[in-house]
């Protein structure tokens, strides 16, 4: 008896024809390379967004420190 995984149920629920072509007929989905490139691009974009947020916080901290030094030096 074959084990039915949750991901397989989700795939069948989303598109029974796609599930049948993949699991029964044995066809591989097209565009795998393109999808992998898209995944890499999204990971890179997420990293860039996180980095920009860190840089904004660092900039804000430097601004506050600079204003504090100006006030302290007066």
Condensed to tens digits (0 to 9), the pLDDT of residues 36-60 reads 999 999 999 999 999 999 999 999 9
Tell me the pLDDT band of 20, cut-offs 50, 70 and 90: very high
pLDDT for the residue 28: 86
pLDDT, tens digit, 9 for 90 and up, residues 2-11: 888 898 899 9
Rounded-to-integer distance, Cα 73 and Cα 70, Å? 5
């Amino acid at each position: 008896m074959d084990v039915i995984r949750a991901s397989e149920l989700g795939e069948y629920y989303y598109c029974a024809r796609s599930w049948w072509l993949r699991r029964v007929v044995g066809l591989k989905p097209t565009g795998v390379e393109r999808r992998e490139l898209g995944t890499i691009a999204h990971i890179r974009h997420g990293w860039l967004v996180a980095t920009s947020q860190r840089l904004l916080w660092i900039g804000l901290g430097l601004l506050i420190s600079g204003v504090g030094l100006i006030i302290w030096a007066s």
